[in-house]
A and B are shown apart, each in its own frame.
Chain A
Amino acid sequence: MFESLTARLGDIFDRLKRRGALSEADVETALREVRVALLEADVALPVVKDFIERVKGDAIGAEVVRSVTPGHMVVKIVHDRLVETLGAASIGLDLAAAAPVVVLIVGLQGSGKTTSAAKIGRMLQERDRKRVLMASLDVYRPAAQTQLAVLGETAGVPTLPVVAGQEPVAIARRAHDAARREGFDVLLLDTAGRLHVDADLMDEAAAIAAATDPTEILLVADSLTGQDAVNVARAFQDRLKLTGIVLTRMDGDGRGGAALSMRAVTGCPIKLIGVGEKIDAIEPFHPERVASRILGMGDVVSLVEKAAATIEEADAARLQAKLESGGFDLDDMAAQLRQLRKMGGVEGVLGFLPGAAKIKKQVADANIDFKILARQEAIIGSMTKRERKNAKLLNARRKQRIAVGSGTSVPEINRLLKQYMEMESMMRKMRKLGKRGFLRNLPFGGPQFPR
């Protein structure tokens, strides 16, 4: 999500790292480039200025100048400041109030409020075992209330029945009554998208807040937002006493400067991030990880978590058993290909790794076909069971049949087999070494897990 900025700062600090000593002028040069990089990353100008000033105050000093590795020192200072600006720790939703706890969701049009509402509803219900009721107060956009109802059905979260022609504040009151009467723990109120400069609609949002006394007022904002992020955040904060921010579309390739801007302007924590279109694609915000990624240090923690969640226990245990017995066949290779694909393919994995922004760019420049994983799966899928157990059976005629079946070519099959042979021999070597290092050495030419 922050790859572009990572690449940029990586370049700058590469330059710094190559120098023995760091002068004040060096700090100035580096920070000028950090400044441009942050601006290009859509961090709002006032936030950038403030940030650079603080970093400069820290960086220009005897400690840095006398430091053995001045580049690293600057990286650390910038990193610490980034984390500080983003907020020190990830904070969950505050549900410590008398039931029904009201969570009000506000934001601009198209920021992803309704989708986020459904995701939050499902999360609270599944993870926190709360009884959640959702209600849409959007009486303006055609079919908005239907959208939440449909999403609620998908997520298994009940929604307030729609009464045509009712005003938003009245719907909010009805929802509150229903939630109280029917013993719900949490009431999620999804509101209409509104411009922060639309006085009438901002009044309406304030009236809804006054009528329902929400414990959480969440501003849903698009992480692709530009310089305007500060204006939007400030306007909502002035009017509504926000308690948190939900950043959507963090799975995009936006540089995410809006995260810094909104956090700095409102002082509200970024509580959750939306990372995909699926109903469970919502995650806590981790400032440390984001700051690390900005600085090209890689989001290692996320990678490990993702790997742990993706590689199914059973599959892993089966592979482990295979390892011990020494038999690694093409079925096992297919299982590994699937796991790698689930983790977001080579590109997805690369994005998490330290210094990977650069590699990723090189990979992109080299024009490597990432569909190769799927094609390789198709090749294995076109083999018979016997062939998959025993690759030695594969003669020229069989290969031709497989090529036709999988829509590939014989050379591609040969490449796959060569890779399989390499993996197989590596597996044998690893067996000799013992179980250790199974995860660390997923035998692909590509990603190696962090140590």
Chain B
Amino acid sequence: MAAAAVASRGLLSRLKAGLARTSDRLSGGITRIFRGRRVDPATIAELEELLIGADLGVATAARLAASLAREKIDRDVTVDDVRAALARDIAAILAPLARPLPIDPARKPTVILVVGVNGTGKTTTIGKLAKRLKDDGLVVHLAAGDTFRAAAIDQLKIWGERAGCPVLAREQGSDPAGLAYDALVQAKAAGADVLLIDTAGRLHNRTELMAELQKVLRVLRKLDPEAPHVRLLVLDATTGQNAHQQVETFRGMTEINGLVVTKLDGTAKGGVLVALAERFGLPVHFIGVGEAIEDLRPFEAQAFADALVGLDRSEAGGNP
């Protein structure tokens, strides 16, 4: 598809594009279950399964299904009624999470440390985020702290060039904590607004690698006791229930205080986020919906919930 066409499509349609392609997704499933049927124990059980199939997890799926049952049991409903009720409940859970990135212009710089499991899209997210912040008129510095993966440094340098931001990099295998420290010294001296620090992907159950991240935190705090102000965990939307362990461990060991959810342009709709919201309540600053630099979007609870259940407000507008 042409790049222009991709860029021009709205967020909702981007998110929904995946749904349209696969008939047995949540959206199609809701239609299948409730078309011409009542809300009764049988349809509620089917709905619960459907929600589990969208990675919401057993407990959250049960609660959402029960909520719908309480409200609509033994009543004739349209498919859109069900969608709207679900979207409302999910949006209510997600709404407190939609918060912008806390960048304080007085800080010079606000330090953002980006962490996560391998392959979730940390470096790409930093590249896109740098561009976005730069476009907002901020002075952004980057630190190529993934000194482990082959060519991760080159990858970030290329993003730095695209976004027009200086990148501090060392050779592969050097100490990420030392690099982070020097990057903060430089960013302070240059009066930068934001310093984005990349890190190597690591499985959260690798204690020694988590200790390496803790060292990065300790070292940064020698220069600024508040730094890094934002500890961002990048989550892959295709991840299943293991996301719980990821958030729990990264929060425990590196004090993450914000999430970015990537790869929402596939068929996975990041349903696990609903369960994560109930359990951890961490703000979600951005979602990734594509490969282009502008495909990193602010998280909007209602739009996300609508996309998850396949609710199109422009079509459903006429229905109560």
Contact = CB atoms under 8 A, between A and B. Distances in A.
Given A200-B1, A226-B240, A40 B205 contact: no
Interface string A252-269: 111101100000000000
Contacts of A147: 149-152, 155
Contacts of B152: 143, 147
B150 A151 contact: yes
Contacts of A111: 119
Given A224-B239, A226-B241, A146 B119 contact: no
Interface string B241-279: 111010000000000000000010111100110000000
Residue among B17, B119, B124 with the most chain A CB within 10 A?
B119
Given A225-B239, A253-B204, A253-B205, A277 B121 contact: no
Given A226-B239, A253-B245, A142 B119 contact: no
A370 B157 CA distance: 39
A446 to B, nearest CB: 17
B118 interface: yes
Interface stretch (B53-61, B190-198, B214-222): B53-61
B209 to A, nearest CB: 9
Contacts of A277: 118, 148
Given A109-B119, A252-B203, A253-B242, A228 B267 contact: yes
B31 interface: no
Interface residues of B, number: 51
A316 interface: no
Contacts of B295: none
A146 B150 contact: yes
Interface string A122-157: 000000000000000000111110111111001000
Interface residues of A, number: 50
B199 interface: no
B240 A257 contact: yes
Contacts of A255: 241-242
Interface in A349-387: 370
Interface string B164-177: 00000000100000
Contacts of A95: none
Interface stretch (A41-49, A294-302, A426-434): A41-49
Contact of B22 (A200, A224, A231, A249): A231
Given A151-B150, A231-B22, A226 B268 contact: yes
Contacts of A235: 267
Residue among A109, A140, A229 with the most chain B CB within 10 A?
A109
Nearest to B200: A277
Contacts of A197: 17-18, 21-22, 265-267
A149 B151 CA distance: 9
A104 B17 CA distance: 28
Interface in A214-261: 222, 224-229, 231-232, 235, 249, 251-255, 257-258
Interface in A1-54: 36, 39-42, 44-45
Nearest to B202: A277
11 contacts: A110-B120, A146-B150, A150-B172, A197-B18, A227-B54, A227-B271, A228-B238, A229-B238, A249-B203, A253-B204, A254-B240
Given A45-B49, A141-B155, 14 more contacts: A40-B57, A42-B242, A109-B263, A146-B150, A196-B266, A197-B22, A222-B119, A224-B117, A226-B243, A252-B117, A252-B204, A253-B242, A254-B240, A258-B240
In the A-B complex, the 9 residue pairs with the smallest Cβ-Cβ separation, listed nearest first, are A226-B240, A110-B119, A42-B240, A147-B151, A150-B150, A143-B154, A142-B158, A228-B268, A254-B242
